[in-house]
Structure 1
Amino acid sequence: MKKHNWSIVLLFLLFVSLSISCKKKQPVDADPPEGTESNLVSAEVTGSYNSNQLRLLALAAEYDAAVPFIKYDVSFIKINYKTTYKGNEIVASGMLVVPKNMPTAPSMISAQHGTTFLAAAAPSNVPQFAAFTGYELLSSAGFITAIPDFIGYGASKNVIHPYYDEYHSAIAVRDMLTAVTAYLKKEKTAFTERLFMIGYSEGGYVTIAAQKTIETSPIPGLSLKAVAAGAGGYDVTSIVSAIIDNGTYSDPAYVAFILNSYNITYGWNRPLTDFFREPYAGRIPVLLDGTNHASAISDQLIADPTALLNPVFYANMQNSNGELALKAAFATNSLLDFVPATATRLYHGTADETVFFQNSQLTFDKYKASGASKLELVPVPGGTHESTVLPMMLNALPWFQSLDK
């Protein structure tokens, strides 16, 4: 959501006050309960905030409509856990938000954030200003909320984020949920087995990727009840083709992000001049160093794909015999070979200029044709990529609450 200057100042002051007033506790011993194994590395309480502070935060972030759902005080716990990147064990991180003083044991939501170019925006960096995702408010509505940073952020910021990569997207979520359940059991924090999932933009893609692996191999102690995914670009092949074929694309930062990520994740290590014209190829490594917003990156690139991309690369992308390895990777990571069994809603703004609405429509049609009987497509009329986040949350939360029984 766009924030006015007063909102930015208010949020900054709020986070500063919280950072000063919230005393950190010592990290929790990560040894698993007797007779169990755990991938939990460490857990540290980084803040404990009351419902009034959260209401102020929601108002400052222009999440006014979410205020009525805010009921409970919450604790923020940074979770470090073991996961896998390119076949090697690494430590990743995320934020766990736990509601306080609930009358009954809460269920869990796994919430996946959207594309971020800023290292500071990793959810585990709360209470830093940039790290607020909005999903933290779900905990104050009565759900334990796990928000993974994703590989390439937080504790794993030393590696390049595997953007729109199915395996690494899914494993980061699954392994965090495994670590979270171990932590909650060790701390004797009551929770039900019911698991809900939500995500938007890249988080929508990550949510469906995680849903796919969890439905195939459930996480012990958790039962997936419902999934809400928004504007996820689930068909990677189609979204990339649509961007390249379009006369202009207002967010070229995303083109740079996915091509650079695939180049590194798959070990091709091609010079960026294979993909981009100069001067853009030379700018991209610095632009993607974790210190720039999406808009700042796009401002240093160009909206016309024919002017941004190397002409040979551009031609090969439109040639059925060109760039076969890249196209195969896009196809492999497209989430179309899947029939969701869990109740699932796909949300998308009809005026989305970043991830085009047709991508969700195509995915919905494919899933329905394959036999998905608990699937809904929820268009948000006139919704842009930015403006659709809150309507999705406000629709998904009551739906989750209705199924939380």
Structure 2
Amino acid sequence: MLKKNKLQYLVCSLMLVLFTASCSKDNDTDNGGSEQGKEQYVSVAPAASLTKAQLQVAASASGFGAFTSALQYDVDYFKLTYNTTFNGKTIQASGLVGIPKNMTAAPAILSAQHGTMFADADAPSNFPASSTGFELFASAGFVTVIPDFIGFGVSKDIIHPYYDMQSSGIAVVDMIKAVKYYLKSQSKSVSSKLFLIGYSEGGYVTMAAQREIETNSSHGLTVTAAAEGAGGYDITGMLAKIGTATTYPSPSFFSIFIQSYNSLYGFNRRLDEYFNDTYAAKINSLLDGSKNGTQINNELTTNLTGTNGLFNPTFFAALNNASAEPAFKAKVAANSFPNWAPKSQTRLYHGTADADVFYETTQNTYNRFIAAGATSVTLKPITGGTHATSVVPMISDALPWFILQAQ
């Protein structure tokens, strides 16, 4: 879950400097390399090449000037297509890969997961026409992997599995494996260190990927460190608090969340069982990939209850009724990271004034991890931070932490 935030301002800035950028001449390939990731890898296609100076200009113009000293390398960017598993079937998914140039030591891999998006045009693999901001990490010396997520890029015809733990995690892991195979096939060395970072929905997806890696040794991956921001991991707690509220600033989040669960888990209920009739009739067309979050919010309402509230009154009342909506709530609970706590070094970030993804969702998750015996998890509250303003403080802490551990 994520409002438009500072990371997305990078789009305009990058477009200003791209007039001097040229595309890499690498061709699609599927030769050689380690067997691990061979099943996942499909192809790469060049996206753009940017110099260190161009990336520093883009960072400064976008309000990320504090990070320019960390940007040390020119970068080649590629669109990568890979195989992953969704609903028991093999599908193709996609994302962006940034590879730093002329490093003297083998770089680590960093997988960066973006926040909630709605428009097909915003998919990371459309770079440089779109940008998440995480592209900058490649210039800091990391092979940077930015998945589109299922439902975007080459998989845009699938309804995005929003806040689904299993499919979210495996889609990230499979892209990492495909990238490792591609790099090996090109005789490009990488270190064994693996970093994960994400914000908002991306924070949730990052935790899902971390869980997938830590609970399934067959992937052959080990997380060095993970930084997860404002991820709404405790979905049960999030919905319970919504059930006591009268307004909510980003109704688009609930349109995509309920559409996703209704389809993915086979509930297949009429949307007017969840939403007020006025809005139920709009949801599917609003989520057709042609509109961004702001446009969708403008077509909905921030009022949750009342005659013209967002939700069907019966469904809204069920959010705080323990015996109501048992099937829906069972899926919510199953996707709230039950019976697991991180083993690898983990930092959880969240703004204490976040009105979009409540701070309590991270606090509750942290408390549960500690109660389960986790010794490597740190909570990093961002005092007074909102959903939009907490991104920079998080990266200001996480990037130096990653760079130090990558050495």
TM over 0.5: yes
Alignment of 1:13-92 (within 5 A): 13-15=16-18, 17=19, 21-23=21-23, 25=25, 27-33=27-33, 37-92=38-93
Query: Sequence identity of aligned pairs in percent?
Result: 44
CA shift at 1:107, angstroms?
0.8
Give how far 1:70 is off. 0.8
**Counterpart residue type for residue 205 of structure 1:** Y
Whether the aligned pair in 2 keeps the contact of 1:96 and 1:146 (CA below 8 Å) is yes
Offset of residue 35 of structure 1: 5.7
Q: Cα 1:2–1:205, aligned 2, differ >3 Å: closer, same or farther?
A: closer
Q: Which residue of 2 aligns with 1:120?
A: 121
User: In the alignment, what sits opposite 2:210?
Assistant: 211
**Alignment partner of 1:385 out of 379, 384, 387:** 387
Match of 2:267 in 1: 268
Q: Residue 343 of structure 2 corresponds to which residue in structure 1?
A: 341
Deviation at 1:118, TM superposition (A): 1.4
* 1:280 partner amino acid: Y
The 5 A counterparts of 1:204-243 are: 204-218=203-217, 222-243=221-242
Cα distance between partner residues in 2 of 1:201 and 1:2: 10
Alignment partner of 1:93 is 2:70: no
**Residues 10 and 131, structure 2, Cα contact 8 Å, conserved in 1:** no
Post-superposition offset of 1:11: 4.3
Which residue type is aligned with residue 363 of structure 1? T
Amino acid in the other structure paired with 1:84: T
With 215-224 and 181-190 compared, the bigger mean Cα shift is at 215-224
Alignment of 1:359 onto 2:361: yes
In the alignment, is the contact (CA less than 8 A) between 1:174 and 1:219 conserved in 2?
no
Give, in angstroms, the shift of residue 318 of structure 1. 2.5
Partner of 1:284: 283
Shift of 1:34: 7.2
Summarize deviations over 1:172-205 as a string: whole Å, max 9, x none.
Answer: 0010011000000001111100001100000100
TM-superposition CA deviations, 1:343-382 (whole Å, max 9, x none): 1000001111100111111111000011010110001111
Aligned-pair distance for 1:103? Answer: 1.3
**CA-to-aligned-CA distance 1:250-286 (integer Å, 9 cap, x gap):** 1111011100110111122111111111211111111
* Distance in 1 separating the partners of 2:148 and 2:35: 29
CA contact (8 A) 1:234 1:336 kept: no
Opposite residue 50 of structure 2, the aligned amino acid is Y
1:323 counterpart (300, 312, 325): 325
Cα distance change of structure 1 residues 319 and 9 upon mapping to structure 2, 3 Å threshold: closer
Aligned pairs (5 A) from 1:166-181: 166-181=165-180
Q: Does structure 2 retain, via aligned residues, the 8 Å contact 1:38–1:182?
A: no
Shift of 1:29: 1.7
User: 2:104 and 2:46 mapped to 1: Cα distance?
Assistant: 22
**Separation in 1, partners of 2:141, 2:405:** 13
User: What SS does the corresponding residue of 1:93 show, helix, strand or coil?
Assistant: strand
8 Å Cα contact 1:349/1:382 also seen in 2: yes
Give 2:193's aligned amino acid: R
Partner of 1:370: 372
> In the alignment, what sits opposite 1:139?
138
Q: Count residues with an aligned counterpart.
A: 398
Matching residue's letter, 1:338:
W
- TM normalised by structure 2 equals 0.93
Does the CA contact (< 8 Å) of 1:77 and 1:95 recur in 2? Answer: yes
Uncovered stretches (5+) of structure 2, i.e. residues with no partner:
none
* CA shift in 2, pair 1:219/1:105, >3 Å: farther
The residue that corresponds to 1:299 in the other structure is: 298
8 Å contact kept, 1:203–1:232: yes
SS at match of 2:243: helix
Report the equivalent of 2:108.
107
* Maintained 8 Å contact 2:34/2:184: no
Q: Is the 8 A contact 2:14 2:55 kept in 1?
A: no
Give the SS at the match of 2:16. Answer: helix
Partner of 2:243: 244
Which region of structure 1 is more displaced relative to structure 2, 36-45 or 68-77? 36-45
C-alpha distance after superposition, 1:190-230 (max 9, x if no partner): 11000011000001000111101101124656431111000
CA distance in 1, matches of 2:33, 2:406: 27
Letter matched to residue 51 of structure 1:
K
Q: Cα distance 1:316–1:157, how it changes in 2: closer, same or farther (>3 A)?
A: same
Q: Distance in 2 between matches of 1:230 and 1:34?
A: 33
Change (3 A) 1:122 1:150: same
Find the counterpart in structure 2 of residue 403 from structure 1.
405
**Contact kept in structure 2, 1:119 and 1:290, CA below 8 Å:** yes
Q: What amino acid maps onto 2:141 in structure 1?
A: G
Deviation at 1:336, TM superposition (A): 3.4
Partners of 1:362 and 1:138 in 2: how far apart?
30
Moved more, 185-194 or 31-40: 31-40
SS at match of 1:223: coil
Distance of 1:7 and 1:323 partners within structure 2: 41
Q: Which amino acid aligns with 1:198?
A: I
Distance 2:217 2:66 in 1: 34
Q: Is the 8 A contact 2:230 2:357 kept in 1?
A: yes
Local SS of the residue matching 2:223: strand
Q: What is the CA distance between 1:24 and its match in structure 2?
A: 5.1
